[in-house]
Amino acid sequence: MNAKRTMITIENQELLKAVEGYCAQGYRLVQICCVKETEGLVLHYTFDKDYDLIDLSINIAEGDPVPSITTIYPCAFLYENEIHDLFGVPIQDINVDFKGLLYKVTVARPFNPAADPAARERS
Amino acid sequence: MAFFSMAGSTLANLFKKPATRLYPAVEPKCSAITRGHVAIEVNQCVFCGICGKKCPTGAIEVNREAKTWEIERLQCIACGNCCEACPKQCLSMDSAYSRPVTAKEKENAHEVARGA
Amino acid sequence: MSSVSPSKHTVIPFGPQHPVLPEPLHFDFVLEDEKIIDVIPSIGYVHRGLEILASKKEFTEFVYVAERICGICSFIHGMGYCEALEEIMHIEVPGRAQYLRVIWSELSRVHSHLLWLGLAADAFGFENLFMQAWRAREGVLDIIEETTGARVIFGACKIGGVRKDIDGDTLKRIADVLNNLQSDVQAVCDIFLKDSSVKHRLCGVGVLSREDAYALGAVGPMLRASGLAYDCRKLGYAAFSDINFSIVTETDGDCYARCSVRIREIYQSFDIIRQAIAKMPGGEVCAKFKGAPDGEALVRFEQPRGEVVYYVKANGTKFLSRFRARTPTFANIPAMMQVLKGANFADVPTIILTIDPCISCTER
């Protein structure tokens, strides 16, 4: 079958509006993924409807706050908590916030270690 | 709606042999290509070290100068990469599983060949 | 919300070790008498950080790590990783390798569903059916061992194709073995679907409505049992574009519907394997390639438990920069929480098992 796969890059501020647009059109959330680049991080939000996939990516710098999409897709809380625990991205206003205790890791942000060695100790 | 539908097979099972084997008293059932453990014909080995480089877990250690070939059995995942890569075809996959051991030790191929 | 004050609520932890639970997941149930009001999930007991190994192992060796993400879903993890890399490096996989991948992934699905059937029966006390289902599963594992060399972690996929071929005689023998197996499996599954005590435990329990299933991001048999026809095999990866099959759905959305979907998928997988054996082309089973990958790929497959998404990012060296597997149970957890709210505490093991959790996949 001819399933479409589109990858779009947008700005951090446009995220909530774009996600609301997809929800209104009937898309379901597939995954949220975080990739560590040499400079900063990229967050991928993937949506799907009738086998057509849309991947939204936003580029953020270290420590940039990102709004949570759980107001639109309540099931996104697990992905956002995981990204917060493993990469240290400060996602704000998650509906079910585990406050860093979803994965009880001994080293903070294991997939994106902080440059400062003192900050690597689990707070 | 069915009632007592298992009764027939339960009665039949009373008179059948068990479906399981008493391992380790009885050898396990395996096929011709079962990947059990890596075996080496060490007299044909030229100690080139390609198997050690291709091993995904780093279980094989080859020393070219000292002419030794060692494998850590507990690290080996029996994938068969080494057997495919060996230029002299001296590595093969044997179908018997490695026996349980009580210590993590490297197995030296020459010592095994001498019958240690 | 309830009309009883919060001081009458009890919080009971469930898992990670529990006699009926096959997987180490943890829930905290807030109970009022015997009814569950709220559920708080807790995962992370078997988190091994496998995704970060992608930047430490060469991309040709990482396929062995990807296969070991989970024992039951192992082949499709390996195949998914290989297909993502084949897309990045533009490798053309030979037709025979595609069909072999279809056969192994459907054998994997049959083995996973039979394993699930045994565990689900064990969860509500039907141990006899548990043993019979696992005895039928041994027939499938024997076929897998004869064709790949191992029972659970196949080691059959590599980038560019598959590592072993199956010759024509073995394929005919597999078709015969499957015909015999089908009658054994049919006997076991008929008991499961028609027995009155089983129906009493499963019908009307743990209902997930169609709208909730879609909005909460449920995938796989959970979604199909609530009436939505969605199966990633229709995307046509491997050789599925040449295979005729229809998507198995039910409309009730309760535990019985989820069980019925999985059992009908077992029969459907037998049919798919027979079609693949009949249509198998000749030729090579592996394509050669050179160089290192550079680019990104997002691919989707249908695991026994649902839709799995792989995202691979490569930067031109032999180590990948990111490998991400979004596994189906991870997506099913919010739907699982919705189903558990309002259920009786005694039905919890039954409901959790009809969702078919696979926690080693969830936590990688």
Among C56, C57, C61, the residue to mutate for chain B (most B Cβ within 10 A)? C61
What's the mean pLDDT in C150-160?
87
What's the mean pLDDT in C315-341?
88
Whether A72 contacts chain C with CB within 8 A: no
Contact C322, C311 (CB under 8 A): yes
Restricting to A residues 12-71, those with a Cβ less than 8 Å away from any Cβ of C are 28-31, 33, 35-37, 44, 46, 51, 53, 55
**Per-residue pLDDT band at C4 (split at 50, 70, 90):** low
Strands C35-42 and C157-158: unpaired
Give chain B's domains with CATH numbers: 40-116 (3.30.70.3270)
Amino acid at C311: Y
Find chain C residues with C-beta within 8 A of B78's C-beta.
150
Q: How far C62 CA sits from the closest chain B CA (Å)?
A: 8
What pLDDT is stored for residue C109 in this prediction? 92
Instruction: Report how far residue B70's alpha carbon sits from residue B52's, in angstroms, rounded to the nearest whole number.
Output: 10
Q: Which chains touch A (3 or more CB pairs under 8 A)?
A: C
What are the residue ranges spanned by the domains of chain A? 5-120
Answer yes or no: is pLDDT of A123 > 50.
no
DSSP string, chain A: ----EEEEEE-GGGHHHHHHHHHHTT-EEEEEEEEE-SSSEEEEEEEEETTEEEEEEEEE-TT--EE--TTT-GGGHHHHHHHHHHH---EE--SS--TT-SS--SBSSTTS--SSGGGGB--
Residue C146 and residue B31: Cβ atoms within 8 Å?
Answer: yes
Residue C307 and residue A30: Cβ atoms within 8 Å?
Answer: yes
Reported pTM? 0.89
What pLDDT is stored for residue A122 in this prediction? 46
Give chain C's domains with CATH numbers: 1-47 (no CATH), 50-352 (1.10.645.10)
Quick one: how many helices (H) and strands (E) in chain B?
4, 5
Answer yes or no: is pLDDT of C1 > 60.
no
- Domain formed by A5-120, architecture: 2-Layer Sandwich (3.30)
Answer yes or no: is pLDDT of C248 > 80.
yes
CB-nearest partner of C145 from B2, B31, B80: B31
**Tokens at residue A38, please?**
């040499």
pLDDT, greater one: C109 or A86: C109
What pLDDT is stored for residue A116 in this prediction? 57
| ipTM tops 0.90 | no
Tens of pLDDT, residue by residue over A48-99, are 888 888 888 888 888 888 888 888 888 888 888 888 888 888 888 888 778 8
Residue C216 and residue A74: Cβ atoms within 8 Å?
Answer: yes
Q: Which residues does C317 contact at the CB level (< 8 Å), separation at least 6?
A: C292
DSSP annotation of C319 reads B
**Tokens at residue C195, please?**
């027995």
Tens of pLDDT, residue by residue over B20-32, are 788 878 888 888 8
Q: Which residues does C94 contact at the CB level (< 8 Å), separation at least 6?
A: C161, C283, C284, C285, C286, C287
**Strand extents, DSSP E, chain C:** 10-14, 26-32, 35-42, 157-158, 161-162, 294-303, 306-315, 320-326
What's the mean pLDDT in C195-216?
85
Tens of pLDDT, residue by residue over B45-90, are 888 888 888 888 888 888 888 888 888 888 888 888 888 888 888 8
Mean pLDDT of chain C: 86
